[in-house]
Amino acid sequence: MSGRFRPGDAVRIKADDRPGHLRTPVYVRGRIGRIVALHGAFRNPETLAYGKDGLPKRPLYQVRFRQRDLWPDYDGAEGDTLALDIYEHWIEPGEAAPART
């Protein structure tokens, strides 16, 4: 299974706010992360939830985000991250987050 993205790629999670059974948390929508891994292709849980077949299968990635990029008031360690599994239809090419000084 090959996907559109590779480990290390900077990606942006789409800021889509449509109604329905969405499997991408609001707090990462519109945010920049990095691809960690491609898990494979799986049926889409957003359509499975409505009794459909979930096809075509969609690539599922692990995406890592810096905690401070998600929550500006985060007071933990600079290197703290959060990893989430996100389907490819929620991901678009992104620009690297600016370096912190």
Q: Which domain holds residue 19?
A: 10-93
In a domain, 3, yes or no: no
- pLDDT score of 55: 96
- Rounded to a whole number of angstroms, the CA Rg of the chain reads 14
In a domain, 82, yes or no: yes
Query: What is residue 32's three-state secondary structure?
Result: strand
pLDDT band with cut points at 50, 70 and 90 for residue 99: very low
Number of domains in the chain: 1
pLDDT band with cut points at 50, 70 and 90 for residue 4: very high
Q: Parallel, antiparallel, or unpaired: how do β-strands 32-42 and 10-13 relate?
A: antiparallel
- pLDDT score of 2: 78
- pLDDT score of 100: 43
Question: What is 39-72 written as a DSSP string?
Answer: EEEE--HHHHTTTS--PSPEEEEEEEEEHHHH-T
* Residue pLDDT, tens place only, 43-96: 999 999 999 999 999 999 999 999 999 998 999 999 999 999 999 999 999 975
pLDDT higher than 90, residue 18: no
Q: Which CATH number covers residue 79?
A: 2.30.30.50
Spatial separation of the C-alpha atoms in residues 72 and 97, rounded to whole Å: 13
pLDDT higher than 90, residue 101: no
In a domain, 1, yes or no: no
In a domain, 39, yes or no: yes
